[in-house]
Structure 1
Amino acid sequence: MAIELLPDWMTGLEEEDVSFIKKFILASGSLKEVAAQYGVTYPTVRLRLDRLIQKIRIGEDTAADPYIATIKRLVVNDKLDFDTAKLLIAEYKRTKGTDLG
């Protein structure tokens, strides 16, 4: 599958995310079955799904503002803490607002 054939929301996903989506679909959306396949608890799979949902939403926001989408993606991937992200986004918006005026 060529990258240019992927929908925009999928381009930011990692290979393991796509594998999870495949398992989820093949399990007919059963988180219990996916948990059994991975050998983890239901809450663990639920958290994984919630993070994947966040990644997809962030991917949809990328076109609107790639910088903010990147910051959000770093938070979702635990590479940046939430408070720092809020400060970076606020400063970016403030600077961007003053550049326009």
Structure 2
Amino acid sequence: MAIEVVPDWMKNLEDEDVVFIKSFVMASGSLKEIAKQYEVSYPTVRIRLDSLIQKIQLSEQTENEPYIAIIKRLAVSDKIDFDTAKVLISEYKKIIGE
């Protein structure tokens, strides 16, 4: 029986992100092929991939600060605006003494 190990950066992704990654791998990394599958333009797929890259980078940068990771994830996902995220992170850092 194989033990499933899911990397921390992947745990922070939404289901649709994981589906996109799988599609990307199955298309051998071809953004043109992904655009065709999703019936969207190449620039739309490029933006989606860039957003996903940001999410992964944020996850890796903030794995020691789960609160900050949550705030950044909400901002990248457009659930809160970046100005609000900056204020929340700044206030949090004041509280913890950074």
Normalised by the size of structure 1, how large is the TM-score? 0.87
Partner AA of 2:64 in structure 1 = A
Q: What is the percent sequence identity of the aligned residues?
A: 66
Aligned partner of 1:66 in structure 2 is 66
Please list, as runs of the form range in 1=range in 2, the aligned pairs for 1:18-97 lying within 5 A after superposition. Answer: 18-97=18-97
Aligned partner of 2:7 in structure 1 is 7
Distance in 2 (alpha carbons) for counterparts of 1:19 and 1:63? 23
- Provide the secondary structure at the position in 2 that maps to 1:5: coil
Task: Name the Cα RMSD after superposition.
Answer: 1.4
Partner AA of 1:78 in structure 2 = D
Q: Is the 8 A contact 1:11 1:59 kept in 2?
A: no
Displacement of 1:63 in angstroms is 2.4
Partner AA of 1:84 in structure 2 = T
Distance in 2 (alpha carbons) for counterparts of 1:34 and 1:63? 30
- Provide the secondary structure at the position in 1 that maps to 2:24: helix
Partner AA of 1:79 in structure 2 = K
Partner AA of 1:95 in structure 2 = I
Q: Please list every run of 5 or more consecutive structure 1 residues that lacks an aligned counterpart in the other structure.
A: none
4+ residue runs over 3 A deviation: none
Partner AA of 2:24 in structure 1 = F
Q: Please list every run of 5 or more consecutive structure 2 residues that lacks an aligned counterpart in the other structure.
A: none
